[in-house]
Amino acid sequence: SYELTQPPSVSVSPGQTARITCSGDALAKQYAYWYQQKPGQAPLLVIYKDSERPSGIPERFSGSSSGTTVTLTISGVQAEDEADYYCQSADSSGTYGGVVFGGGTKLTVL
Amino acid sequence: EVQLLESGGGLVQPGGSLRLSCAASEFTFGYYAMSWVRQAPGKGLEWVSAISNSGSSTYYADSVKGRFTISRDNSKNTLYLQMNSLRAEDTAVYYCAKVNDFWSGYPYMDVWGKGTTVTVSS
């Protein structure tokens, strides 16, 4: 199996830019996906295929990739963005072997 | 609106069994692979199992292999998870999720249910 590593926490003030990283060897060959989870709620997909944004997700959410690290960027952070964020990728072998989630990053809006 | 609604959670003793269901609506259920993902109290997300759109292929995390069985009934738009030999460490909220791009090699979950809680305790 493989692992995805995220920082446990990130803190920013309202209006600033938050960057959450996710690292793992599989990311060199696989896309990354990002989910937002607020307390007591189900996860919500906010970025797919490294940098694509689903309909309904605000433009302040963006994603990027470089080698074995992907980054979720939230520009102009708002209080409502305070949540846990999880990256996800898949087995890089080419056959379905399940998916793996990062440990999650708690975003605190100061 | 695309919806997934889980049911069947509850309190069960160690070694017991439980069957979870997930009712899907407002999308062509039989076109998509489906997955179960769980979250233990205060912990992160853990992928549990997945099933192809036809049901012919199933996949499991090592932590549940041999104990859990995923299945689906496309005529009823319903996904199932049969959980046997339950352990305390299986205590979690269980989410069902619609899987996109399953056969492309780049699978991800684009719709999630609200979850159902499973507690394994004596």
- Which tens digit of pLDDT belongs to each residue from A45-81? 999 999 999 999 999 999 999 999 999 999 999 999 9
| Mean pLDDT of all residues belonging to chain B | 96
User: Would the CB atoms of B44 and A35 count as touching at under 8 Å?
Assistant: no
- Specify whether the CB–CB gap between B79 and B34 falls below 8 A: yes
Residue keyed to tokens 């995390």: B61
pLDDT given at position A72: 98
Nearest CB to A101; choose among B44, B102, B107: B44
Is the predicted pLDDT of residue A97 greater than 80, yes or no?
Answer: no
Angle A66-A69-B114 from CA coordinates, rounded to 5°: 120
3-state secondary structure (DSSP) of residue B11 = strand
- For residue B5, what pLDDT band results from cuts at 50, 70 and 90? very high
Question: Span B40-62, mean pLDDT?
Answer: 95
- Specify whether the CB–CB gap between B85 and A33 falls below 8 A: no
d(C-alpha B91, C-alpha A71), whole Å: 31
Residue B19 bridge partners (DSSP): B82
- Which tens digit of pLDDT belongs to each residue from A27-51? 998 899 999 999 999 999 999 999 9
